[in-house]
Amino acid sequence: MVGVDDEATVRIPGRLLSMAEVAEALCQAHDGLARLRDNGNDHRQLPSRGALVEAVDALRSVLFPGYVGEPDVRREGLLFHLGATLDRAIRVIREQIERGLCFSGCLIPDHCPTCAKRADELTAQFVARLPEVRRLLATDVQAAYEGDPAATSPDEAIFCYPGILAVTIQRLAHELYVLGVPLIPRILTEHAHSLTGIDIHPGAAIGERFFIDHGTGVVIGETCVIGRNVRIYQGVTLGAKSFPMDAEGHPIKGIPRHPIVEDDVIIYSGATVLGRVTIGAGSTVGGNVWLTQSVPPGSRVSKEPA
């Protein structure tokens, strides 16, 4: 292994490379990541994080007008602002979906008409889901207000709670994930992860009235299925235990490998649930519990006392 001392001797060579030599060396790197130097790929742009972040903020202001975005919209102008913001967000999302499609598989360098058409269709399907996303989020906000003694109003939950922010973005990303949009859903949930410390894979299917309190360190895996009225605290992991390898020793992708959490379950801080196990409806999982097997409905799982 490499130690600090060994590094130091390697590190300061006899002749220092000039800036131009370093630029040349980085430009010539031949290690499979030099995306720009591939032939077919040359002209395709990766999705833009910045554009997606703006679009997701716009969608949040459309879902929660008055709470997010322009603060002084009044009733008589509301529909106009909603429509304009939505229209702008949709165009950005559509462009990013097209980039995602092109980047992830197509071989035509510029303006592939197939990807453009597919992006149109996927965007239309995504947009049509927004009222349902809004409906779900309203239940989440109510659950947050009811489940936290420190909450003084549902407004405060919308306005301040990282759990609401993370779930809002995940519900949007999940719609794109279900539609098969590549790359974009993950960019969105990683944005939420960076802001909140809550890492919910866009693949996770989550029922209504979902509440995450505090939230830092929560990890919810790709194939999780979560019922309605579930409450989770900071540091909870709903993860995979291990994953089967294929013949060449690579993990097989896409197999259900994360927990199913049924309705009305509470999981306290720091608990870890691993594998395709089922937490039965109405169960409570105590803080710091380590759980790798299914439990029947109504269970109370807790750590042995200290």
Based on the shown chain and the rule CB under 8 A, indicate whether residue 120 belongs to the binding site for a copy of itself.
Answer: no
Cβ atoms within 10 Å, residue 247: 6
Among 22, 107, 117, 298, binds a copy of itself (CB under 8 A): 22
Among 94, 171, 231, 257, binds a copy of itself (CB under 8 A): 257
R_g of the chain, CA atoms, integer Å: 23
Based on the shown chain and the rule CB under 8 A, indicate whether residue 69 belongs to the binding site for a copy of itself.
Answer: no
Segment 134 to 153, residues that bind a copy of itself, using CB under 8 A:
134-135, 138, 141-142, 146-153
Based on the shown chain and the rule CB under 8 A, indicate whether residue 107 belongs to the binding site for a copy of itself.
Answer: no
Based on the shown chain and the rule CB under 8 A, indicate whether residue 17 belongs to the binding site for a copy of itself.
Answer: yes
Based on the shown chain and the rule CB under 8 A, indicate whether residue 106 belongs to the binding site for a copy of itself.
Answer: no
**Three-state DSSP class for residue 46:** coil
Among 97, 232, 240, 267, binds a copy of itself (CB under 8 A): 240
Phi, psi of 77 (to 5 degrees): -105, 0
Note whether 98 and 114 are within 8 A (CB). no
Cβ atoms within 10 Å, residue 288: 15
Among 115, 118, 262, 279, binds a copy of itself (CB under 8 A): 262
Note whether 151 and 144 are within 8 A (CB). yes
Q: How far apart are CA 256 and CA 252, in angstroms?
A: 11
CA proximity to 192, closest of 213, 156, 218? 218
Among 60, 96, 170, 227, binds a copy of itself (CB under 8 A): 227
CB 19, min distance to a copy of itself, A: 6
CB 157, min distance to a copy of itself, A: 10
Among 53, 54, 106, 182, binds a copy of itself (CB under 8 A): 182
- Residues in binding contact with a copy of itself, number by CB under 8 A: 151
Which residues, in sequence order, are CB contacts of 130 under 8 Å at separation 6+?
59, 62, 63, 86
Q: 113-128 vs 162-178: helix axis angle to the nearest 10?
A: 130
Residues in a beta bridge with 300? 284
Cβ atoms within 10 Å, residue 102: 27
Based on the shown chain and the rule CB under 8 A, indicate whether residue 274 belongs to the binding site for a copy of itself.
Answer: yes
Among 98, 119, 161, 279, binds a copy of itself (CB under 8 A): 161
| Binding flags for a copy of itself, 206-225, as an x/- string (CB under 8 A) | -x------x-xx-x-xx--x
Among 42, 114, 117, 296, binds a copy of itself (CB under 8 A): 42
CA proximity to 257, closest of 280, 225, 212? 225
